[in-house]
Structure 1
Amino acid sequence: MTRRKHDKTEHPQEQPDEGEGRGGLEAATPHDALFHFAFVDPRHAAAELQCVLPQALSAKIDWSSLTPEQGRFVDAKLLSRYSDLLFSARIGQRRGLIYLLFEHLSSRKRLGLLTLLEYMVRIWQAHRKRYPREKRLPVILPVVLHHSETGWTAAKRFREILDVDSEVLTLLEAFIPDFQAVFDDISRVDPRALKARAMTPEGKLVLFCFRVGRTPDELVKWLPEWGDVLMAVARSPVGGLFISAVMQYLEEVTKLGEVGLKTAMQQALGNSVAEKILFAGERLIERGRREGELAGQRAVLLRLLAERFGALPRNAVASIEAATPSDLEKMVSRVLTASTLEDVLGKKKRRRGATPPRS
C-alpha cells in the first residue's frame, strides 16, 4: 500500500474518548478481523464503495485520494456485532470523510440510524477537538455493509424513526435532522452477483466469505464456482497473506477446523486446484521454517509488513531489529488481523487527550 503525504484535512480525527476502552490489539471477532484486513486497503475499499454508491456521487470522488484514517467509533460492548473503518477522500473540491460500517450479526438486535448518527457525531467531535480553529466540519458519507439471517429490516432514513404525523413532519423538515445511509445488504445476494461485481478479487472473496461462510453446506456448494477467484487471489503479490487470512476466518466461522476445511476445499475444487490455493498460504509458514534463524524471521516479517503497508519507516525497522524472539512471534501473529503498522508492532496508544502533530 503506497503512503502519501497528507495535508491537514487528510487526518481529520483521532480516536475519541468513547473508543478508549476497547482494550488490546486483537480483533473482537473473526468478521472484524477479516473486514479490517481486507478493506483497510484503499484498493479493495474503493472498489466496494464504487459498486454501491450512486454513480453521480461516485464520479465526484477522487478515488486515488482515498486514505484510511485512524480511529474506531463503535462502542466496545458492540464489537461482536459491528466493525468500522473511516476514510478521507477528495469529494468535489474539498476533503470529506467516508464512514464504512459493517454489521455482522444473527440476533434480532439491529443497528439503528440513531446509533449511526451517534458515531458520526463522535467523528465530528474528534475533528473539532483536533482542529478547533476550523469553522466548518467535513462532510461524512455513511455506508453500511450488512449481513444477517434476515437482511436489513430497520428504517433506512432517519425521519422514519420519528414519531410524528406526516403533515407535521413536512412543517418540521427545516428544523430537524434527517439523513439516510448507503446500504449494501449482502444477506441474500446471489453469490454469482457478488462474483460479477467490478471489484478486486480480494474484495469479492471477502464478501463471498461473509455471505456463505457461516453455513458450511453453502460454502461447499458455491466453492466450485469461486475457484477462479481464489486462484486469482493466490497468485497476487500478497496472495499468501490473503489466503491465510481467509482460511483462518473460515476455520473459525464454519467450525470445520483446519483439516475439515481443507477436505471441503479438495472435494469442491479438486485436489490439484485446492493444493495450489492452500499452498499460497502455507508457503508463508514454510518460508519462516526454511529461513529458520532469528535473522530469517525478521526478514520474513519485514517482507510481510512491506507487502501490507508499503515502505516501512526507520523506527518500525528498528523496532523489528531490536525485538526479542517472543516479541517477533507476537508481531507475526498480528500481521493477519492488525489494521495498522502500529498495531502489528504493539505500539501503545497515545494517552487520552493527546493530539498528534499535523503532517
Structure 2
Amino acid sequence: MFGSTRHALGRGLAPGRGLRRSLPADGSRGVRLRTTRPKAHSRRREPGYAALVQDEIYKKLFAFPRMVEDLMRGFAARGWAVTIDFSTLRKLPAEFVSDELLKRHGDTVWVARLRDGRHLLMVLEFQSRDDPGMALRILAYTSLLYQELLRNEAPVLDPGRRLPLVLPVVLYNGETPWRAANRLAALIQPAGRALVPYQPSQSHYVLDERHASEDDFPRQNLVTAMLHVERIDSPSDLVAAVDVLREWFRCPEDDDLRRAFTDWVRRIAQRLVPGGEKLAAQMTLEDMRMTVVERVSEWPKQWVREGREQGMREGLRQGIEQGIERGRAEERALLARMAASRFGAEAAERLSAVLAEVSDPERLGEVGEWLVRCDTAEELLARVSIVRTGG
C-alpha cells in the first residue's frame, strides 16, 4: 500500500485534487463544498450515467447494513451516532410500507432502535440533480410513510401509537454543487410571530458527494471509500481505490458488499479504457488492478495509432504530428499523477523532468509498469534514467 495514497483515501481525497471550502448560503446542514478537478483523463458523464448509478449501484450498496451504519457514524449522525443501537439496524419490513410508496417517493428506508427505546427511521434519497423542491418532497414522503405505519400498526409505534423519529438523508452525486435548501421553512413565505407555530417544519441532511472536502470525511469508513470511487477520473485514481478496497474487504462476510463495489469500479474502469475495449463482467478487484496496470503500458501506443489514423483521414501531416504529441503529453501527465499518488509531489516533479526527454511510446509504457511495481521513488527514478539514456 502506498503511504501517501492511503492517507489521501483515508481522508476521502482522491490524489490530484485541489479544494476550496464553500458554506451553504442558507446555513443548512450537510457536506457541501466545492472542489477543483483535473481536466486530464476526466471521466465525463453522459446523460443518464448518474441516474444509472443511483438506481442500480447505490441501491445495491445501501442494501447492506454496514454501509448505512458508516453513513450514520461518519456523516449524517456524526456526533450522536452513539445513541443508535446499530445491532437493531434493519430495513423497514415490506409489510409496513407498500411497494408503490417506495417506488414513488423513497429509495431506501432503514430503522433502528435508539438506546433509550425509541425508534429512528433513516430515509435515504439518491439524487443526481439539484432539486429546489427537495424539502417539500421529503415532507410529502414522510407524511405518507407515517400514514402507512399507522394504518399497518407497525411495531415502530410506541404504546401510545406515537410515530417514530425520522432522519431524511439525501445523497447527491451531481456535477454541479447542491444549492437547494434543506429546510422546509426556506420554501415558505416569512410568517409573523402569531403564525410561526402553525407552519410545517422539517430539515434533511445533504451529502454532496462530488464537492466535499476531505476534512469532512472519517477514516476507515466505507462511505468515504464510496466517495473516493465516485471521484475516479484516471487509471491512477482507479488503482489507488482498488488497493484500498482490497485492504478493507478481507473478511468472507464482506463478499457480497465487495462484489457490489467491484461491479461499480468495473463500470468506471470500462469508461477509462480507450478504444472501447471490453472488460470481463466477472473480474475481481485483483484482476481489475492487473488489467489496468497492463493496459497503461499499451495506451500510449494506441494514442499514437489514433493520431496517425486521424491524420490519414484528414490527409494532413499536421494531424499525424498533433495526434502523436497528444498521446505523448497525455501519457506523461498520467505517469506524473501516478507518481504523485504513490511517492509524493517531489518524486512526481522529478519524474516529469525526466519524461520530458522521453518520446518513445514503448519507453513510456515501461515507465507505467514500473510505477506500479517499484517500491520506492529512488528505484523508479533509477529505472527511468536508464530508459532516458536508452539503456
Question: How many Å separate the matches in 2 of 1:40 and 1:57?
Answer: 23
Q: Which amino acid aligns with 2:228?
A: F
Q: Which has the larger radius of gyration?
A: 2
TM-score by length of 2: 0.49
- Structure 1 portions without partners, runs of 5+: 1-27, 272-359
- The CA deviation at 1:47 is 1.4
- The CA deviation at 1:131 is 1.1
- The CA deviation at 1:117 is 0.8
The alignment of Structure 1 onto Structure 2 pairs a total of residues equal to 228
Q: Does 1:46 align with 2:69?
A: yes
Q: Match for 1:100 among 123, 132, 139? A: 123
> Which residue matches 1:140?
166
Q: Does 1:220 align with 2:242?
A: no
> Which residue matches 1:162?
188
CA displacement 1:217-276 (0-9 Å, x = unmatched): x153422432431212453314554443234334446663742998984476579xxxxx
Q: Which amino acid aligns with 1:155?
A: A
Question: How many Å separate the matches in 1 of 2:199 and 2:113?
Answer: 28
> Which residue matches 2:41?
none
- The CA deviation at 1:175 is 1.1
Paired residue secondary structure (2:80): helix
Question: How many Å separate the matches in 1 of 2:77 and 2:250?
Answer: 32
Q: Match for 2:152 among 130, 143, 157? A: 130
> Which residue matches 2:88?
65
Alignment of 1:298-317 (within 5 A): none
Classify 1:235/1:96 alpha carbon distance in 2 versus 1 (closer, same or farther; 3 Å). Answer: same
Q: Which amino acid aligns with 1:130?
A: N
- The CA deviation at 1:136 is 1.2
Paired residue secondary structure (1:62): strand
Question: How many Å separate the matches in 1 of 2:166 and 2:123?
Answer: 10
TM-score by length of 1: 0.53
Q: Which amino acid aligns with 2:246?
A: M
Q: Which amino acid aligns with 1:183?
A: V
Question: How many Å separate the matches in 2 of 1:94 and 1:152?
Answer: 35
Classify 1:108/1:57 alpha carbon distance in 2 versus 1 (closer, same or farther; 3 Å). Answer: closer
> Which residue matches 1:114?
136
Q: Does 1:207 align with 2:227?
A: yes
- The alignment's C-alpha RMSD in Å is 3.5
Query: Contact conserved, 2:171 with 2:208, CA < 8 A, in 1?
Result: yes
Paired residue secondary structure (1:94): coil
Q: Does 1:237 align with 2:252?
A: yes
Question: How many Å separate the matches in 1 of 2:59 and 2:206?
Answer: 18
- The CA deviation at 1:41 is 2.1
> Percent same amino acid among aligned pairs?
19
Question: How many Å separate the matches in 2 of 1:180 and 1:58?
Answer: 18
Question: How many Å separate the matches in 2 of 1:231 and 1:57?
Answer: 30
CA displacement 1:285-322 (0-9 Å, x = unmatched): xxxxxxxxxxxxxxxxxxxxxxxxxxxxxxxxxxxxxx
Q: Does 1:174 align with 2:193?
A: no
Q: Which amino acid aligns with 2:279?
A: V
Classify 1:75/1:109 alpha carbon distance in 2 versus 1 (closer, same or farther; 3 Å). Answer: farther
- The CA deviation at 1:179 is 1.7
